[in-house]
Chain A
Amino acid sequence: MTTPGIPPNDPAKPAATDVDDLDERDPGLALERTSLAWTRTAISFAALGGVVLKVSVFPGLIIVLMAPLVWWVGGLRKLGAHRYWLITVAIVLVAILSLLVALISHGASRALHS
């Protein structure tokens, strides 16, 4: 029995809410949104690397080069939960580099001007 104006469900493609089998659940556009989130994260790495690059070349280059790696890791779904661990370690490393740049380059510029 069908409702007027509403196409009948295709029996070959059951609605996501009606399916218990995990493999047949349709994630919809969630995968695309997640890919975009990884892209935004990679861009954030590049932006931070650009800021650090203005102050110190070597650490800045390291951070900028992390950006395409982050984007690539985001696409490797086979890595599973390891991806989040890698991103966390990367951000902590970036924080350490930034801290060193903030402390050392500031000290160097003071020594230069004194």
Chain B
Amino acid sequence: MASSWHWISPRGAVQEEGTEPDPRFTFANERTFLAWSRTALALIVAGLGIVQLLPPFPGVPAGRHLLGVPLIVLGAVLAVVAYIEWVRNQRALRTGQPLPHSVMPWLLAAMITLMAVIAAVVLLMSAIR
């Protein structure tokens, strides 16, 4: 069984298994990866903007960091998961298997929900103090 590194490395299973798929599908997979990458960058910009541009929350000294730092970390995580998804999709295309279920929308929705809850808590604490 291939090691984890072999599974995700560019030179690994993706380029060795199966046959070259229809180029339109390969391009579509590539564009999907780039779209998620841009989403990751947008989250990083949002996190940085919150920390640097928002005024401090009165009564909650670390409020901006509570909101901004998880967004930046999520951006990095999203980029890595997007690459893994590209590998899984490309392998499925090369071997003629059904495309695997994507965790990306799940991940993004869960984190945005979490950030909304954190923002609400920070705002309430700021209003109370």
Query: Would you call the interface of chain A mostly helix, strand, loop, or mixed?
Result: helix
CB-CB < 8 A to A101: which residues of B?
Answer: 48, 52
Q: Do the beta carbons of A106 and B65 come within 8 Å of each other? A: yes
Among B27, B38, B44, B82, contact of A33 (Cβ-Cβ < 8 Å): B27
What number of B residues sit within 8 Å (CB to CB) of A? 44
CB-CB < 8 A to A85: which residues of B?
Answer: 9-10, 83
CB-CB < 8 A to B64: which residues of A?
Answer: 106
Query: Would you call the interface of chain B mostly helix, strand, loop, or mixed?
Result: helix
Which among A28, A44, A82 has the highest number of chain B CB atoms within 10 Å? Answer: A44
Q: A residues engaging B (CB < 8 A)?
A: 22, 25, 27-28, 30-31, 33-34, 37-38, 40-41, 44-45, 47-48, 51-52, 54-55, 80-82, 84-85, 87-88, 91-92, 94-96, 98-99, 101-103, 105-106
Could you pull out 29 A-B pairs where Cβ atoms are within 8 angstroms? A25-B23, A30-B24, A31-B23, A33-B27, A33-B31, A37-B30, A37-B31, A44-B37, A45-B41, A47-B41, A48-B45, A51-B45, A51-B49, A52-B48, A81-B15, A82-B11, A85-B9, A87-B33, A87-B83, A91-B75, A95-B44, A95-B73, A96-B76, A98-B48, A99-B72, A102-B72, A105-B52, A106-B52, A106-B64
Q: B residues engaging A (CB < 8 A)?
A: 9-11, 14-15, 19-20, 22-24, 27-28, 30-31, 33-35, 37-38, 40-42, 44-45, 47-49, 51-52, 64-65, 68-69, 72-73, 75-76, 79-80, 82-83, 86-87, 90
